[in-house]
Chain A
Amino acid sequence: MTSVEEPAITEIKEKSVLQQLESFLPLITNSVAKFDPRYVLRVFRQHAAIRREIKADDLLDLINKTYPTTFPTVENLVGALTPFSKKISKTDTDVDMDSDDHTVTEVSPEIDVFVHLMVQIYLYDIGEIKALYAFNKNVIELLKKYNRRTLDYIQAKAWYYIFRSSEIAKDLINIRADLMNALRTATLSHDTETRASVITLLLRNYILTNDINQAYNLVEKIEFPFEATTSIVARYHYYLAKIQTIQLDYSSANECIITAIRKCPQTKNAKGFLQSATKLQILIQLLTGEIPELSQFDDPILFKSLRPYAEVTKAVRLGDLKIFNNALKTYGDHLKNDKNYNLVLRLRENVIKTGIRIISLSYKRISLKDICIKLHLDNELTAEYIVAKAIKDGVVDISINHTKGYIESLDVSDVYTTKAPQAEFDRRIKFCMQLNNDSVKAMRYPMTTGREKFDDDNEARQREQELLQFLQEEDF
């Protein structure tokens, strides 16, 4: 903004931002009237597009236009924004002008909470965490006051920003009570969105403070609403995988992390989540004695952040402790940052497991003595214990002949002589049919039966086009 013409351009933009913001409000009112959350979701989609362009002044203008000056929350809202307003001297005159123009008397709770959310997001985007933290106290109070189902989606988002500010301000203990209260209220009023959102936030809270046991207890006690927004469900699966990995329950963790990655939104905005989920997945695979596919590391989005993990994988694949220790030295801080250092340390013991696996794959029959030599074990008895354990853990499919002192791979039974493939085929067909039926059920048809108005149709088509466009760049 150095040249002279710039201000004019920004002013036009500002106007359009403000207009856009204003256009959200009727949509929200609409959603309340029709009891249909789709309108709110649409607002969120459109808001994501202009998010970076919103300025404090836009929000101030919006507040002035929407709220009657005597409304109780106005003071807080304006108070939170004023320090970041660029036209401080002007605001006073603006207030007078606007309050003359508009004689608003009532503000619905939905709009009130929505405006609060807008302010939260704004403060978060400009990195004013302290201000956001202070402002959040008001938001928590506000959310307690209202109890309407039409608020669910907005409320769920508001909690996210409340938590984020606490996390950055390193105040994780105090927020727990508020989150717990929110969870209780949401559960009692069947508020799926807020419930799901708050659960993931609580899990994140516990994991950040290393209170894995508490996180696990929470998972045990609650029922997670899987019908919530997919991105939240994905997050839940990610945290679940994390907890299960720490508890050594690798097979369940693997399932969870795969679900998380599949459910993760396919946009560039979800990059961070995808990265940490993939990191965890690689570690889980390594811990179960599998070697992740090398092509996974070449993904252009993930390539850079996966470097340490690629190095660790290399070490495990070669069974080379030297490379492994080097990788730990070079990337130790990076891994600690990811909070995965402990898990990586566990891999050190996995070298033996991988060794047994490789041996069992390459030999049909091998004596226990040879295993001792190959894996540098003390004696045959040790080898026998270790192999037995590996068989029990399902790492290898072999049997031990104790009297003759050798191990033998079991014959791979031909699955195609069994019923297994047919059962699998049946399961998949049924899944596809279910999917088809569900999609048919989920389709919406216009209420008016006779589609006389061609204009309506056109408009609907346009809206659909718009929706498609936003879906492509969706952010959650």
Chain B
Amino acid sequence: MSLEQLTTKLTEHFQKEDYETCFKLLTPIKIQLIEHNLLVPNFQSKINPNDLQITMSILEIGALISINLFKMDEFSNYIIQLKPFYEINELNSRSNQKNKLLSLNLLYLLTKGDLAMFHIELENFQNFNLNVDDLEKDEFLSIPIKFEKWIIDGDFNKVNEILSKKNNFPCKEFNIFEPGLLNSIRINISNNIELVYKQLPIENLKILLFLNEISEVKEFIDQYGWKFEKNIVYFDKNELKFEDNINDDREIIKNSLIYAKEMETII
């Protein structure tokens, strides 16, 4: 099959949301793209921008398909392949999926808890002709940015609120990240709780972790190795305690001798 036929087939199936078939189609398409030297935009050879635009939209479809099939690694790969296209000024204005995909990628990084990478991506947006001030106004991009703000602040309540109000998002792909994101903030909260409290009634812990069942809380308790007795959870901390008294005379003498020796060599 030629590239054209494959592409029309791909878009057909994509619109029908038949993602499995789409996914199978993508590999031969990519091979064709490589043969036509279109998979990676090249600065030197002047390729028709329209051709590159087609490649870009194929990759974009690929990215959306992988998300819908929960193939996150594939999704990351597509994003990486798309970046050089977005860096070309002529092309990035023609894409209507750009902000959506970038925003999904940011959400994905949040679910992984990779805040460092999140900010690296934000810096990179300047190359895609996206102004920092515009990000917060964008329908898609404002969502992960808000989430990140709340996570940094520790305002987990707000994240939970937004997530529990389903269908609040501009497109359905955002919902895919909901469980992952919730899990990631739970891990975040657990890490905080462990340090802050010495003990906590299990009911309170349940509320703090946004869980509904005590059994789910117990899973967390096991995972973190906390102690659980009589409905109260204890957090054992390996506190770093200063030694209270200076009773190590030997140490002092040893040090003083070293100083004396050094002084002697100087004089």
The reply on B154 being an interface residue by CB < 8 A is yes
Inter-chain contact B255/A385, CB cutoff 8 Å: no
Residue picked from A249, A381, A391, A402, most chain B C-beta under 10 Å: A402
Taking CB atoms, residues of chain A closer than 8 Å to B51 are: none
- B 181-199 to A, binary, CB cutoff 8 A, 1 in contact else 0: 0000000010111011100
Interface of A is mostly: helix
CA distance A392 to B122 in the complex (A): 25
Q: Which of A352, A417, A433 contacts B153 (CB 8 A)?
A: A352
B149 and A349 contacting across the interface, CB-CB below 8 Å = yes
For B245, the closest partner residue in chain A by CB is A417
Minimum distance in angstroms from B228 CB to a CB of chain A? 16
Contact B153 A248 (CB under 8 A): no
Chain B nearest CB from A441 CB (Å) reads 12
Q: Which residues between 384 and 428 of chain A lie within 8 Å of chain B, taking CB atoms?
A: 384-392, 399-400, 402-403, 413, 415, 417-420, 422, 426
Kindly state the separation between the CA atoms of A267 and B144 in the bound complex, as whole angstroms: 45
Find out whether the CB atom of B124 lies under 8 angstroms from the CB atom of A417: no
Q: Is the CB of B124 within 8 A of A385?
A: no
Contacts of B54 in A (CB 8 A): none
Residues of B within 8 A of A269 (CB): none
Task: Name the B residues within 8 Å of A403 (CB-CB).
Answer: 201
Give the docked Cα–Cα distance between A229 and B44 (Å). 38
Docked pose: A436 CA to B259 CA in angstroms: 13
Q: Please encode chain B, from 109 to 149, with 1 for each CB lying within 8 Å of some chain A CB and 0 for all others.
A: 00000011101101110110000100000000000000001
Assuming A349-B149, A402-B197, A422-B252, is B123 touching A386 (CB within 8 A)?
no
B120 near A386: Cβ-Cβ < 8 Å? no
CB of B247, distance to nearest CB on chain A (Å):
10
Closest to A436 in B: B266
Contact of A247 among B119, B153, B193 (CB under 8 A): B119
Q: Is the CB of B158 closer than 8 A to any CB of chain A?
A: yes
A378 at the interface (CB under 8 A from B): yes
Given the interface pairs A342-B123, A400-B197, A418-B242, the reply to whether A213 lies near B117 with Cβ below 8 Å is yes
Question: Knowing A378-B157, A413-B242, A419-B248 touch, does A247 contact B116 (C-beta < 8 A)?
Answer: yes
Q: Are A341 and B132 in contact (CB under 8 A)?
A: yes
Q: Is the CB of B153 within 8 A of A386?
A: yes
Contact of B127 among A209, A341, A422 (CB under 8 A): A209
Contact A210 B132 (CB under 8 A): no
* Known A212-B124, A247-B120, A419-B248; contact A386-B155, beta-carbon cutoff 8 A: yes
What is the bound-complex CA distance between A299 and B149, given in angstroms? 34
Q: Tell me the complex Cα distance, A173–B123, Å.
A: 17
B253 at interface, CB cutoff 8 A:
no
User: Which of the listed residues B117, B154, B158, B201 has the most CB atoms from chain A within 10 Å of its own CB?
Assistant: B154
B243 touches A418 (CB 8 A): yes
Q: Which of A248, A341, A413 contacts B115 (CB 8 A)?
A: A248
State whether the Cβ of A39 lies closer than 8 Å to any Cβ in chain B: no
Docked-complex contact B127 and A417, CB < 8 angstroms: no
Q: How many residues of A contact B (CB 8 A)?
A: 46
B108 → chain A closest CB, angstroms: 15
**Given A341-B132, A379-B157, A426-B255, are A249 and B245 also a contact pair (CB < 8 Å)?**
no
For B157, list chain A residues within 8 Å (CB): 378-379, 381-382, 385
- Decide: B196 and A392 in contact? CB cutoff 8 A: yes
Given contact pairs A402-B197, A436-B266, A391 touches B192 in the complex (Cβ within 8 A): yes
Given the known A-B contacts A211-B124, A352-B153, A382-B155, are A388 and B242 also in contact in the complex, defined by CB atoms under 8 Å? no
Chain B 239-265 near chain A by CB (<8 Å), digits 1 or 0: 000111110100010010001001000
Q: Which residues of B contact A420 (CB under 8 A)?
A: 242
Closest A residue to B125 using CB positions: A210
Among candidates A342, A388, A436, residue contacting B192 with C-beta atoms closer than 8 Å: A388
Task: Flag whether B156 is at the interface (Cβ < 8 A).
Answer: yes
Contact B149 A433 (CB under 8 A): no
- With an 8 A cutoff between CB atoms, is B3 at the interface? no
Q: Which of B132, B200, B201, B244 contacts A417 (CB 8 A)?
A: B244
- Contacting residues, chain B, for A44 (C-beta < 8 A): none
| B11: interface (CB < 8 Å) | no
A385 CA to B201 CA, complexed, in Å: 16
Q: A429 to B260: give the CA distance in the assembly, Å.
A: 11
Q: Which A195-220 residues have a C-beta within 8 angstroms of B?
A: 209-213, 216
Is B204 among interface residues, defined by CB-CB distance under 8 A?
yes
From A210, A385, A418, A436, contact of B154 by CB (8 A) = A385
Q: Please, could you name 23 A-B residue pairs with CB atoms under 8 Å apart, sorted by A?
A: A210-B124, A210-B126, A212-B120, A212-B123, A216-B120, A248-B119, A248-B152, A349-B149, A384-B208, A385-B189, A385-B192, A388-B193, A388-B195, A388-B196, A391-B192, A391-B196, A399-B196, A400-B196, A417-B242, A418-B244, A419-B246, A426-B255, A436-B266
* Pairs of residues from A and B, 5 with the lowest C-beta to C-beta distance, nearest first: A389-B154, A247-B116, A418-B242, A388-B192, A212-B120
Q: Knowing that A387-B196, A389-B154 touch, tell me 10 more A-B residue pairs with CB under 8 angstroms.
A: A212-B120, A246-B119, A381-B208, A388-B195, A388-B196, A400-B197, A418-B246, A419-B246, A422-B246, A426-B255
